[in-house]
């Protein structure tokens, strides 16, 4: 499991209504990411791993496409592209550092 998700094992219980708005969004994002990863993890662990990796990626892409297609914000796709690029860079840099 990626380290950035492992560090937040109690995400469902750690949300605070009194947090700074930027921190609330960050906490909500981490909680949702952890929940999504928990759903996908059994598929990633199943054999054959390579085939199931692509199945999990395709499912995540389908979910993202459904969300983006229904978004009324025209900048949502650009935001998604930027967020994905930044998260990949963050994960890769943290894996290199460890």
Condensed to tens digits (0 to 9), the pLDDT of residues 19-31 reads 555 565 788 899 9
> Average pLDDT for residues 58-62, to the nearest whole number?
96
> Average pLDDT for residues 81-85, to the nearest whole number?
93
Report the alpha-carbon distance of residue 24 to residue 13 in Å, rounded. 13
User: Does pLDDT of 6 surpass 50?
Assistant: no
Q: Whole domain around residue 67: which residue ranges? A: 3-97
Percent of the chain with pLDDT over 90: 54
Q: How many CA atoms lie within 13 A of 54 on its CB side?
A: 3
Average pLDDT of the chain to the nearest whole number: 80
Neighbours of 82 (CB within 10 A): 11
pLDDT of 54: 95
User: Does pLDDT of 60 surpass 90?
Assistant: yes
For the chain, how many structural domains are there in total?
Answer: 1
Is residue 22 within 8 Å of 35, Cβ to Cβ? no
């Amino acid at each position: 499991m990626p380290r950035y998700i492992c560090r937040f094992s109690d995400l469902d219980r750690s949300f605070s209504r009194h947090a700074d708005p930027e921190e609330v969004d960050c906490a909500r994002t981490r909680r949702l990411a952890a929940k999504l990863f928990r759903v996908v993890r059994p598929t990633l662990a199943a054999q054959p791993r390579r085939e199931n990796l692509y199945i999990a990626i395709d499912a995540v892409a389908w979910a993202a496409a459904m969300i983006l297609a229904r978004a009324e914000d025209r900048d949502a796709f650009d935001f998604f592209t930027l967020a994905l690029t930044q998260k990949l860079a963050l994960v890769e840099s943290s894996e290199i550092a460890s």
